[in-house]
Chains A and B, each alone.
Chain A
Amino acid sequence: MTALLVVVQLAALVVMPVVVVGVINRVKARWAGRRGAPILQLAWDVRRLLAKRSVYSDVSTPIIRIAPLVVLITALGSALIAPLTGAGALVGFDLDFVWFAYVWGLGRVALMLGALDTGSSFEGMGAAREATFAVFVEPALFLVAGALCLDGGTLRFAEALAWHGVDGGAIVVRVACAAAMVVVLQAELARMPVDDPTTHLELTMVHEVMILDHGGRELAALHAGAAIKLYVAIAVIATLINPWAGPWTGPWAGAATPLVAAAIHLGLCVAIAAAIGLFEALPARVRLRVVPTYLLSATVAAAVALLVVLWRTA
């Protein structure tokens, strides 16, 4: 990978999280007939929060201050492995997807501990839901990674996600994997229909209720971490549905220079963000009881992908 591409990836890591959150919110607002916040609103929010002083719950321990930083660190760590601009990742090593999944897990545990540190029953409720939902998406993530690794003959996440040829089987595998990853994204990032980020009823929140008692720079770190994770998840999905991802494997390899391929990929990320915004404006959140069943669809989709891979190799 050229140095220029590294710079592009780092720049994308800084800019794109803000953009995807902005695009989702803007599309949702437009759909609802409102003008919507500026695309870069998240950046201003973070800057404003960093300047604010924090108020801590009087039963809290240093965990409430450490946990948001851990969320941010783990989000950045997962971003290093993900194909941020489609063409490989900043860091790649064998079995890095295990690291990817477990680093997300660590971030989730930190988020939940930070929530429980306040002793609030509402935040406990949110943490319980977050932990329960994670249980149902984790197998899907491994099935997706396993299927793609088996299909691509590689053990590196970014390489496995890239296309290794375009044929009917490959399209089915990648569409199924992308469908699974969309559900994983909805659960991990607490988006509709698993969770409604704009709800105002604590009883029904998942992610938002866990950060009720955080403020100041802790809240800034949590927002930043969530936005980075969102971008990482979107970038993974974009790689799955983009045959140009990875200039060395695409059907028109050589036709698109790495930079053009990266530009296509980033455009696709914005498009996916817009699609999420559109989708979120339409249905209501499903009932909490139904969520585990809904999340199991990710495992089913990933299992389908795995079986198609088996059929392709057998």
Chain B
Amino acid sequence: MTADHALLASVPILVIGAVLIAIVRGRRAQVALALGTQGAATALVLAAVAPVLAGGAPLDVVWPWPAPIGAIAFRVDALGAFFLAWSLPLTWLGTVYAVGYLQPSLAAGRNGGSHLALLNFTCVAFVLVYSVQNALVFLLGWELAAVSAWLLVIWDYKNQKIRFAGFNYLVSTHVGLFVLVAAFMLLHSRTGSMDFAAFGAYLAGAPPDRATIFVLLGVAFALKAAFFPFHTWLPRAHSAAPAHVSALMSGVIHKAGLFAFLRFTLLGGRPDEWMGWCVLGFGLVSAFFGVLYTTVQRDLKRLLGYSSTENVGIAAAAFGAGMLGWTWGDARLVVLGFAGGLLHVLNHALFKCLSFYAAGSIYRATHTIDLERLGGLARRLPWTAALFLVGGLAMCGLPPFNGFASELVIYAGLIGGGAGPAEADVALIAAAAMLAFVGAVSALATVRAFGLAFLGAPRDASVHVRGEAPATMRGPMIAHAVAVVALGLVPGLALGALLPVVGLFAPELGDARPLAVPGFLDAMAWPSRALAVALALAVVVAWRPRAGSATSPTWGCGYTVGSPRMQYTGTSFSDALARFFGAALPAQRRERLPKGPFPAGDGHVASHHVDAVERKMFEVLGQGEQIIQDTSSRISEQPRFAFAAGAIAIVVIVAVAVGGGP
């Protein structure tokens, strides 16, 4: 069987598997079918893409199809191969985890068949989106992923909140779809074709509407990948979904947005300079706001969701740097930007799935992921604690874990200097400082989350902790943790597979691009390995207390009657930061403070951080008419206002008239 057959064969295997899963009764048969068909499809796809990733020629398949689609071209180049190579195996691991995670509901008689079948369909969507060269089939795969994800999210559909989160996601993702369809229609009207090749030929000619198409596609893909400010569906969906669905959505499924962005970057050819700056700036804004929101969440899965917004932002910033390098003809920046961003995408998939799985393990044991109610779990769930810590440290990009390796490549691109004009060097260094800021805030969020959930004493006596996660859940977590450590110590492993992908960008620079694992990464891997050995030794040496040591209650600084409720809270932990960035992190406070020297009655304080974008959105939707009325009444009161509005309108009209021509 040739590689192209292997790739195409995976689709019917997955679809037939899904149908059979939905038909058969019996949990064991369903699980065996899901794992079997997904495993077979994964093996086939890996066999098909391995030669491409090793630097071989791209895989071209044409599938004849009835009208109106006609022949569908599939093409797995290195970019698609890279995404396929980890999306399917990680989904398989997620399915294994799902078997353990859903076990209580399945044992109670719930039929999990449709859920497992949907996971199969998610894999089908990957194969379609990452390989197809036809806009209609691409949209089909895109929709398949979106609808499957929606149905996976509402597993616990009896809960109204979860249904709301699901619909919220469904609406948001379709708003993105409209924008995407608009872009495709525009391209279709110009080219008369639905083939990506025709789109590419059109875009590469730098037509006047390239900017419009770039912005439309950018918005659609940003919505898919949950960039700020298009992220509002994400925290709700991630907090409502079962842990493996959150993990797969955040780590794997929504990476399709970044993939599609890179696909169209490739099709468009050498980007304009403003595009690179735009992507870099947009990525940094996303990273900044995403990470700020991670610091104030009570719900652990919401926190991890916002962290996804942060991490796609970091990856996009790297892509922006790579695009700038392409514009300037700087081969080094092209390689470091795109390699760093892609490596970060993979690393994020690994550590974010791990963190979500650990959160799911907490939920399985305690039935809550409210950080303010947890505490002291490290002694009850030692495996979960250790695995969450590995994921969390990787999440803040600390050595010797994999997050550090990709951030390092990105820093190398930003700080290297000598790329464009001197002002650009300075701007890139400022971007690096921004990433450092993001890293530090992320460390705060991780320490806060881990400390609240796992350290100290249990905060809420009503939370009962059942046992550690079963082997089906622990296995995938351990596999992810091993990958997180391995890619931290041997980043060349993944980077080797990545360089053919990077080789697709800026082809006009040819051999100038240093397509080898950069030397500094080797140089840096050794200190990381030494650090890993030292840390391992520290763990071994200090694991057990020395003979003769004693235990005693924590010193209460004089307050000896404290209860576990008096431990430091998560809200207090991030209070100083949240106040400093109060404009970005609006807090709702409800309080009745005791008054007078002898206060009568109870006082209370409740503070709660809402998503500023979501609140604004609903405000505008709910009071749209009112807002327009207020604005229009203000215009007549304030002539300056009317003048400014008129000037803006004229500028827009002129811009459209001049720039929007055929």
A and B held together in a complex: yes
Residue ranges of A at the interface with B (Cβ–Cβ < 8 Å)? 53-63, 65-66, 69-70, 73-74, 77, 91, 93-96, 98-99, 101-103, 105-106, 108-109, 112-113, 116-125, 127-129, 131-132, 134-135, 138-143, 145-147, 149-150, 153, 155, 202, 212-213, 216-217, 288-289, 292, 299, 302-303, 306-307, 309-310, 313-314
6 extra interface residue pairs, beta carbon distance < 8 Å, beyond A91-B527, A109-B396, A213-B554: A96-B524, A116-B447, A135-B441, A141-B436, A146-B432, A153-B417
Establish whether residues A155 and B376, one from each chain, have CB atoms under 8 Å apart when the complex forms.
no
B residues 513-550 with Cβ under 8 Å of A?
A: 519-520, 523-524, 527, 530-531, 534-535, 538-539, 541-546, 548-550
Q: Give every chain A residue within 8 A of B566 (Cβ-Cβ).
A: 121
What's the minimum C-beta distance from B118 to chain A, rounded to whole angstroms? 38
| Given A94-B523, A310-B423, A135 contacting B415 (CB threshold 8 A) | no
Q: Give every chain B residue within 8 A of A124 (Cβ-Cβ).
A: 451, 456, 567-568, 572-573
What's the minimum C-beta distance from A54 to chain B, rounded to whole angstroms? 4
Please tell me if B457 contacts chain A, counting CB pairs below 8 Å: yes
Establish whether residues B404 and A102, one from each chain, have CB atoms under 8 Å apart when the complex forms.
yes
Contact of B430 among A120, A135, A143, A314 (CB under 8 A): A143
What's the minimum C-beta distance from B556 to chain A, rounded to whole angstroms? 7
| Given A95-B520, A98-B408, A109-B446, A70 contacting B538 (CB threshold 8 A) | yes
Establish whether residues A65 and B567, one from each chain, have CB atoms under 8 Å apart when the complex forms.
no
* Chain A CB within 10 A, most for which of B375, B437, B543: B437
Which residue from chain A places its CB closest to the CB of B523 in the assembled complex?
A: A93
Q: Give every chain A residue within 8 A of B523 (Cβ-Cβ).
A: 93-94
Establish whether residues A95 and B557, one from each chain, have CB atoms under 8 Å apart when the complex forms.
no
Which residue from chain A places its CB closest to the CB of B450 in the assembled complex?
A: A113
Establish whether residues A93 and B415, one from each chain, have CB atoms under 8 Å apart when the complex forms.
no
Q: Give every chain A residue within 8 A of B443 (Cβ-Cβ).
A: 105, 108-109, 131, 134
CA A165 – CA B437 in complex, angstroms?
31
Q: Give every chain A residue within 8 A of B555 (Cβ-Cβ).
A: 57, 120, 212-213
Q: Give every chain B residue within 8 A of A299 (Cβ-Cβ).
A: 433
Contact with A along B305-339 (1 / 0, CB 8 A): 00000000000000000000000000000000000
What are 18 sample pairs from A and B whose C-beta atoms fall under 8 A apart?
A55-B549, A55-B551, A56-B550, A66-B538, A99-B399, A108-B443, A116-B451, A119-B564, A124-B567, A128-B568, A135-B444, A142-B433, A142-B436, A149-B415, A212-B557, A292-B580, A299-B433, A314-B422
Which residue from chain B places its CB closest to the CB of A144 in the assembled complex?
A: B433
| Given A109-B443, A132-B444, A59 contacting B572 (CB threshold 8 A) | no
CA A154 – CA B437 in complex, angstroms?
23
Q: For the complex, would chain B's binding face be called helix, strand, loop or mixed by DSSP majority?
A: helix
Establish whether residues B577 and A135, one from each chain, have CB atoms under 8 Å apart when the complex forms.
yes
| Given A77-B527, A117-B456, A122-B557, A61 contacting B379 (CB threshold 8 A) | yes
| Given A53-B548, A117-B456, A103 contacting B432 (CB threshold 8 A) | no
Which residue from chain B places its CB closest to the CB of A54 in the assembled complex?
A: B549
Q: Give every chain A residue within 8 A of B520 (Cβ-Cβ).
A: 93-95, 155
Please tell me if B207 contacts chain A, counting CB pairs below 8 Å: no
Q: Give every chain B residue within 8 A of A131 (Cβ-Cβ).
A: 440, 443-444, 447-448, 573, 577
What's the minimum C-beta distance from B388 to chain A, rounded to whole angstroms? 12
What's the minimum C-beta distance from A24 to chain B, rounded to whole angstroms? 26
Establish whether residues B433 and A55, one from each chain, have CB atoms under 8 Å apart when the complex forms.
no
Contact with A along B415-432 (1 / 0, CB 8 A): 111000011011001101
What's the minimum C-beta distance from B34 to chain A, rounded to whole angstroms? 37
Please tell me if B168 contacts chain A, counting CB pairs below 8 Å: no
Q: Give every chain B residue within 8 A of A117 (Cβ-Cβ).
A: 451, 455-456
Please tell me if B636 contacts chain A, counting CB pairs below 8 Å: no
CA A112 – CA B436 in complex, angstroms?
19
What's the minimum C-beta distance from A140 to chain B, rounded to whole angstroms? 8
CA A73 – CA B530 in complex, angstroms?
10
Residue ranges of B at the interface with A (Cβ–Cβ < 8 Å)? 375-376, 378-379, 385, 393, 396-399, 404, 407-408, 411-412, 415-417, 422-423, 425-426, 429-430, 432-437, 439-441, 443-444, 446-448, 450-451, 454-457, 519-520, 523-524, 527, 530-531, 534-535, 538-539, 541-546, 548-557, 562, 564, 566-568, 572-577, 580
Which residue from chain A places its CB closest to the CB of B540 in the assembled complex?
A: A66
Q: Give every chain A residue within 8 A of B527 (Cβ-Cβ).
A: 77, 91, 93, 99
Q: Give every chain A residue within 8 A of B396 (Cβ-Cβ).
A: 105, 109
| Given A146-B429, A147-B429, A69 contacting B456 (CB threshold 8 A) | no
Q: Give every chain B residue within 8 A of A132 (Cβ-Cβ).
A: 444, 576-577, 580
| Given A62-B542, A116-B447, A146 contacting B573 (CB threshold 8 A) | no
Which residue from chain A places its CB closest to the CB of B544 in the assembled complex?
A: A62
Q: Give every chain B residue within 8 A of A149 (Cβ-Cβ).
A: 415, 417
What's the minimum C-beta distance from A312 to chain B, rounded to whole angstroms? 9
| Given A95-B408, A128-B572, A150 contacting B417 (CB threshold 8 A) | yes
Establish whether residues A56 and B447, one from each chain, have CB atoms under 8 Å apart when the complex forms.
no
CA A61 – CA B426 in complex, angstroms?
45
Closest 5 CB pairs of A and B: A124-B568, A119-B456, A116-B451, A146-B429, A65-B542
CA A175 – CA B51 in complex, angstroms?
55
Contact of B439 among A96, A118, A138 (CB under 8 A): A138
| Given A56-B550, A69-B542, A128 contacting B576 (CB threshold 8 A) | yes
Which residue from chain B places its CB closest to the CB of A137 in the assembled complex?
A: B440
Establish whether residues A57 and B423, one from each chain, have CB atoms under 8 Å apart when the complex forms.
no
CA A138 – CA B407 in complex, angstroms?
15
Which residue from chain A places its CB closest to the CB of B459 in the assembled complex?
A: A119
Q: Give every chain B residue within 8 A of A53 (Cβ-Cβ).
A: 546, 548-550
Establish whether residues B456 and A118, one from each chain, have CB atoms under 8 Å apart when the complex forms.
yes
Contact of A142 among B432, B530, B549 (CB under 8 A): B432
Establish whether residues B551 and A57, one from each chain, have CB atoms under 8 Å apart when the complex forms.
yes
What's the minimum C-beta distance from B509 to chain A, rounded to whole angstroms? 22
CA A202 – CA B379 in complex, angstroms?
27
| Given A54-B545, A77-B527, A306-B429, A139 contacting B437 (CB threshold 8 A) | yes
What's the minimum C-beta distance from A191 to chain B, rounded to whole angstroms? 19
CA A38 – CA B605 in complex, angstroms?
50
CA A92 – CA B142 in complex, angstroms?
47
Contact of B436 among A95, A139, A310 (CB under 8 A): A139
Establish whether residues A119 and B447, one from each chain, have CB atoms under 8 Å apart when the complex forms.
no
Establish whether residues A306 and B568, one from each chain, have CB atoms under 8 Å apart when the complex forms.
no
Q: Give every chain B residue within 8 A of A105 (Cβ-Cβ).
A: 396, 398, 439-440, 443
CA A116 – CA B554 in complex, angstroms?
11
Q: Give every chain A residue within 8 A of B451 (Cβ-Cβ).
A: 112-113, 116-117, 124, 127
Contact of B411 among A69, A98, A128, A302 (CB under 8 A): A98
Establish whether residues A138 and B436, one from each chain, have CB atoms under 8 Å apart when the complex forms.
yes
Contact of B573 among A128, A143, A153, A292 (CB under 8 A): A128
Establish whether residues B551 and A73, one from each chain, have CB atoms under 8 Å apart when the complex forms.
no
Establish whether residues B417 and A102, one from each chain, have CB atoms under 8 Å apart when the complex forms.
no
Establish whether residues A145 and B415, one from each chain, have CB atoms under 8 Å apart when the complex forms.
yes
What's the minimum C-beta distance from B535 to chain A, rounded to whole angstroms? 6
CA A128 – CA B534 in complex, angstroms?
27
* Chain A CB within 10 A, most for which of B376, B416, B417: B417
CA A128 – CA B572 in complex, angstroms?
8
Q: Give every chain B residue within 8 A of A106 (Cβ-Cβ).
A: 393, 398-399
Q: Give every chain B residue within 8 A of A70 (Cβ-Cβ).
A: 535, 538
CA A212 – CA B260 in complex, angstroms?
52
CA A98 – CA B523 in complex, angstroms?
13
CA A101 – CA B433 in complex, angstroms?
11
Establish whether residues B541 and A69, one from each chain, have CB atoms under 8 Å apart when the complex forms.
yes
CA A155 – CA B414 in complex, angstroms?
12
Q: Give every chain A residue within 8 A of B564 (Cβ-Cβ).
A: 119
Establish whether residues A134 and B411, one from each chain, have CB atoms under 8 Å apart when the complex forms.
no
CA A74 – CA B531 in complex, angstroms?
8
CA A69 – CA B539 in complex, angstroms?
9
What's the minimum C-beta distance from B274 to chain A, rounded to whole angstroms? 21
Establish whether residues A103 and B399, one from each chain, have CB atoms under 8 Å apart when the complex forms.
yes
Q: Give every chain B residue within 8 A of A307 (Cβ-Cβ).
A: 426
Which residue from chain B places its CB closest to the CB of A53 in the assembled complex?
A: B548
CA A204 – CA B42 in complex, angstroms?
56
| Given A95-B408, A155-B416, A77 contacting B549 (CB threshold 8 A) | no
